[in-house]
Amino acid sequence: MKDKPELKLRRTEIADLNYFFQFQLDKKAGYLAAFIPEDPSDKSAYLIKHTKLLNDQSVNSQTILVDNIIAGSIAKFVMEGEAEITYWIDRNFWGQGIATRALKHFLTVETVRPIFGRVAFDNFGSQKVLEKCGFVKTGTEKGFANARQTEIEEFIYKLS
């Protein structure tokens, strides 16, 4: 039986943003994420926004390493007074349980509760990740999804 790859989280560094930018250019991943920047190819805007977030004390941004390879990102941020999580896994690492393992680990470090997660109605993989980590679906909202150029339903999950 194959051993699980080693998974580590570490504080995100400026240099990691170049990897994250490349990950979010993946059209299939962007479609599933749905709520992406209006112009995901604008690297300058991406770097400015995310560098600012790295300097925001209310944001806990971590880089996901799998066998010391950058595999994604995970972060806690505050929106409208509520803690929310976000994560992005490079498509090369999909289907390996990386998001679930990373989120479980992250939630031992980031202990703010309640914490919310939002996911497109048809992003079943991400819904399963949240549910495996103890999040419960508490509602829905409609919002404009740049990746799809239309309004879609978004599920809201909560971990108390």
Q: What is the pLDDT along the chain (160 residues), one digit of tens a residue?
A: 557 899 999 999 999 999 999 999 999 999 999 999 999 999 999 999 999 999 999 999 999 999 999 999 999 999 999 999 999 999 999 999 999 999 999 999 999 999 999 999 999 999 999 999 999 999 999 999 999 999 999 999 999 9
Q: What pLDDT was estimated at residue 2?
A: 59
Domains of the chain: 7-159 (3.40.630.30)
pTM: 0.94
The Cα–Cα gap between 112 and 94 comes to: 27
pLDDT at 100: 98
Sheet holding 82-89, edge to edge: 7-11, 60-66, 69-79, 82-89, 115-120, 150-159, 136-145
The pLDDT of residue 3 is: 75
Kindly state the tokens that stand for 141: 């909202």
